């Protein structure tokens, strides 16, 4: 198979979701050798895997792993097993995440805040750690974390989410520095808004004001974000680490 990702063995979390599924489809089209799909949603995972296998133009080896990324031991065991079976992990996409209930700080339930930190920050810590362990024992690799414009703009009414995404950007920089000499590149992607199940609970009307903040005048599509993951996973970015690629329809620049 030819393509920008020929021969790459990849693991993607949040793979049952909109962005994870779009990344998996792009990676398959770019010739990835193996795609290990991780999510806690078994049905969604099955649907994404079935779509990938049905695409006869790709010969990618698709594997499904129903794992909750907050479960440290289960994550380490899963990544260790798949690295052994595939002979290594070249690319790790740490993408599973949730949004908090919309509220200003004085109305935020602490349990809600902790849940978001647990999935969005500890989940990424767990899967980064597991893939870095596998990559350190080999020739290195590319780690790609999903952050958000909410991690560095004044994204109100969702303090747990914005806080978690700021932590991911910083965790990316620290890991980039810690593992550069192991030839492990660590970067993140910060999308603006593209409509997915993440927004099911957002109050009516709120999405209109979110849309107003995107100068290009429309929400993005998951596939427009996924292109950045191909770039970061490929050998075109071998001198790139600690970076945050922003794809947001101009949102963070402002009107």
Ligand X SMILES: NC(=O)c1ccc[n+]([C@@H]2O[C@H](COP(=O)([O-])OP(=O)(O)OC[C@H]3O[C@@H](n4cnc5c(N)ncnc54)[C@H](O)[C@@H]3O)[C@@H](O)[C@H]2O)c1
- Contact status: 18 vs ligand X (CB under 6 A): yes
- Contact status: 8 vs ligand X (CB under 6 A): no
Which listed residue (79, 161, 179, 229) is catalytic? 161
Min separation Cβ 62 and ligand X, Å: 16
Nearest to 142, CA basis, from 52, 61, 232: 232
Between 33 and 249, CB nearer to ligand X: 249
Contact 201, 157 (CB under 8 A): no
Q: Which runs of E-coded beta strand occur in the chain?
A: 9-13, 34-39, 61-66, 91-94, 141-146, 184-191, 244-247
**CA quadruple 247, 248, 253, 255: dihedral positive or negative?**
positive
231 carries an active-site annotation: no
d(Cα 8, Cα 91) in Å, to the nearest integer? Answer: 7
Query: Quick one: which of 49, 194, 237, 241 contacts ligand X (CB under 6 A)?
Result: 194
- Contact status: 193 vs ligand X (CB under 6 A): yes
- Contact status: 246 vs ligand X (CB under 6 A): no
Min separation Cβ 27 and ligand X, Å: 15
Taking CB under 6 A as the binding criterion, the range among 9-17, 25-33, 133-141, 169-177 that sits at the site for ligand X is 9-17
Min separation Cβ 13 and ligand X, Å: 6
Binding-residue pattern over the window 88 to 127 for ligand X, x denoting contact by CB under 6 A: -------xxxx--------------------x---x----
Concatenated DSSP letters for 106-163? GG--HHHHHHHHIIIIIHHHHHHHHHHHHHHTTT-EEEEEE--GGGTS--TTBHHHHH
Min separation Cβ 29 and ligand X, Å: 18
Backbone angles phi, psi at 75, to 5 degrees: -65, -50
Judged by CB under 6 A, the number of residues near ligand X is 27
- Contact status: 162 vs ligand X (CB under 6 A): no
Min separation Cβ 220 and ligand X, Å: 7
226's tokens: 């996924």
Task: State the DSSP H helix or E strand holding residue 25, giving kind and residue range, or none if neither.
Answer: helix 18-29
* Cβ neighbours of 90 (radius 10 Å): 24
- Residues interacting with ligand X, by CB under 6 A? 14, 16-20, 39-41, 44, 68-70, 95-98, 119, 123, 146, 148, 191, 193-194, 196-198
């Amino acid at each position: 198979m030819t393509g920008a990702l020929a021969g790459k063995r990849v693991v993607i979390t949040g793979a049952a979701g909109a962005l994870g599924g779009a990344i998996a489809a792009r990676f398959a089209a770019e010739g990835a050798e193996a795609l290990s799909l991780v999510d806690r949603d078994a049905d969604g995972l099955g649907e994404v895997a079935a779509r990938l296998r049905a695409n006869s133009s790709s010969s990618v080896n698709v594997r499904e792993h129903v794992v909750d990324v907050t479960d440290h031991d289960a994550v380490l065991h899963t990544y260790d097993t798949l690295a052994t079976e595939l002979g290594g992990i070249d690319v790790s996409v740490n993408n599973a995440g949730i949004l908090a209930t919309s509220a200003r700080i004085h109305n935020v339930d602490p349990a809600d805040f902790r849940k978001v930190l647990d999935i969005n920050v500890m989940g990424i810590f767990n899967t980064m750690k597991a893939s870095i362990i596998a990559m350190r024992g080999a020739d290195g690799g590319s780690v790609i974390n999903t952050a958000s414009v909410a991690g560095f703009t004044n994204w109100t009414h969702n303090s747990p989410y914005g806080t978690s995404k700021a932590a991911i950007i910083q965790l990316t920089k620290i890991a980039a520095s810690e593992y550069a000499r192991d030839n492990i590149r660590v970067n993140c992607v910060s999308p603006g808004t593209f409509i997915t199940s993440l927004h099911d609970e957002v109050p009516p009307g709120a999405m209109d004001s979110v849309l107003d903040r995107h100068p290009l005048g429309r929400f993005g599509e998951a596939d427009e974000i996924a292109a950045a993951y191909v770039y970061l996973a490929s050998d075109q970015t071998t001198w790139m680490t600690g970076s945050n690629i922003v794809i947001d329809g101009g949102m963070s620049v402002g009107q």
